[in-house]
Structure 1
Amino acid sequence: MATHDRGLVKSQVSGVTVRALTRRFGERTVLDGIDLTIPDGQFVALLGRSGSGKSTLLRALAGLDYDVAGEGSLRVPTKTSVVFQDSRLLPWQRVLANVLYGQPRSRRDAGVKVLSEVGLAGRENAWPGELSGGEQQRVSLARSLVGEPDLLLADEPFGALDALTRIKMHALLRDLIRRHRPTVLLVTHDVDEAVALADRVIVLDEGRLTVDIPVDLPGERDPSLPAFQHIRRTLLTALGVAPVAV
């Protein structure tokens, strides 16, 4: 069964298919005939300069930008969730209620379980204001996964966190993806983050996808590995940044 919203099609199949997607803001073309396929279960990181259209593409896939959907075709899973850079928690709701927002009451046990998975067991009745920024983003991740989505869209979810917290969140996200196995599109400005997390990295430049690189690295993806550095240099060059040795 499929549901339609202009050019956006939500169906029971997993994975993402985008064809000839264009988005204009007045005279400016932000997305210019984008074609993209993400197979079921793949983790893709999307890089690009500020204003390149990364978040515009993500919003189209999330069904939050109908003008984009109206100028191309998109097929995404019905069960899609989004996690943003800020946690967007409801301050008047306790942690578990935030996780279960929009979910049926029957998902309560699932909410408790996923809070444990993100390291917040026993914090179900805490208020968002009692949590650190990293803890709030853990709640946001729990909320995005409690409904077992087939597609997880992440718009710079760790961009506001300090460097050490980001490293911890990277490890957490890898673990959560192994557990829940959604297809993932991660928008990020951080090349190292993209290479550390994704199965594949793509670059959006002047409205078009210009680079598409598989990331086939073993283990915990040590940034000092030559293969990691090779991919990093390729991506930095594509972004117009002079690579810096690590």
Structure 2
Amino acid sequence: MAPNIGQLTERPTEIHSGQIRVRGLVRRFGDRAVLEGIDLDIAPGEFVALLGRSGSGKSTLLRALAGLDHDVTGSGSATVPEKRAVVFQDSRLLPWARVLDNVTLGLSGADAAERGRAVLSEVGLAGRERSWPNALSGGEQQRAALARSLVREPELLLADEPFGALDALTRIRMHRLLRELCARHRPAVLLVTHDVDEAITLADRVLVLDGGTIAVNREIDLPVPRSHRDPRFIDHRDALLAALGVTEDDSENSNG
């Protein structure tokens, strides 16, 4: 059962099938407002990436939609699907449970193991059902985490920098896998990331969170797969980096 997020709003939170609608969401930590009246809609099956500087409230918004910030006070309203899943930067696999048991944790029904094996096959881990998590590479652990989230067929997948700890080559492979899985399962996705190229590569739409509000809402109208050398990709990158306050000199210094 997905966590109840009724505690997150002063007005009742509604849970509907397939809808993501946020209005006037405010989140405060003490006297500091991290989110200042967020309005957000995500269509069923839409992939949205959320960018922002460190401390801008990206993870706070994601945790609000997931129902994980019960200690935070605030106001506003959110309409979210009941069937939600979260993927974090670390896989959060239980080390004392084998891979299949991690994937099917909390599932009931005679077909739970069969569903687990099917989704493990989808993420390229067929035959690893009896492995212990510490026998998997970092990329394989994140594949198992994806399998665990998708086995429940969520209508909303919330991903908090799920590839941030992976090496560059593994990240490219995980990007391809995530796009394929989302095309197959069709959840709405909210991906929190610091990586502008990752956001453009994966998302239908990219948001920039700044000053507690959504400052940029940019459609990414590029064919898939997307080339970083495409002039339109470069235009999107330049515009988003500018919105994040990154200058051309900053980019050159980071590459040098």
- What is the TM-score normalised by the length of structure 1? 0.95
- 2:201 match: 196
- Moved beyond 6 Å, runs of 4+: none
Matched, 1:76 2:77: no
- What root-mean-square deviation, in Å, do the aligned CA atoms of Structure 1 and Structure 2 show? 1.6
The one of 26, 29, 32 equivalent to 2:30 is: 26
- What is the TM-score normalised by the length of structure 2? 0.91
- State the 1:71 CA deviation: 1.1
**Local SS of the residue matching 2:34:** strand
Q: Does structure 1 retain, via aligned residues, the 8 Å contact 2:102–2:148?
A: yes
- State the 1:67 CA deviation: 5.3
Q: Does structure 1 retain, via aligned residues, the 8 Å contact 2:5–2:67?
A: no
- 1:135 match: 140
- 1:169 match: 174
Unpaired segments of 5 or more residues in structure 1? none
- 2:101 match: 97
Q: Does structure 1 retain, via aligned residues, the 8 Å contact 2:159–2:192?
A: yes
- C-alpha separation in 1, matches of 2:152 and 2:18: 15
Q: Does structure 1 retain, via aligned residues, the 8 Å contact 2:5–2:65?
A: no
CA deviation digits over 1:122-144, x for unaligned, max 9? 10000001000110000000000
Q: Does structure 2 retain, via aligned residues, the 8 Å contact 1:202–1:209?
A: yes
Q: Does structure 1 retain, via aligned residues, the 8 Å contact 2:28–2:74?
A: no
Q: Percent identity?
A: 64
The one of 30, 33, 40 equivalent to 2:44 is: 40
The one of 14, 19, 22 equivalent to 1:15 is: 19
**Local SS of the residue matching 2:246:** coil
Unpaired segments of 5 or more residues in structure 2? none
Q: Does structure 1 retain, via aligned residues, the 8 Å contact 2:94–2:102?
A: yes
- C-alpha separation in 2, matches of 1:51 and 1:232: 21
- C-alpha separation in 1, matches of 2:30 and 2:157: 30
- C-alpha separation in 2, matches of 1:4 and 1:237: 34
CA deviation digits over 1:150-186, x for unaligned, max 9? 0000000000001110000000000100110000000
- State the 1:10 CA deviation: 4.8
Q: Does structure 2 retain, via aligned residues, the 8 Å contact 1:19–1:73?
A: yes
Q: How many residues align?
A: 244
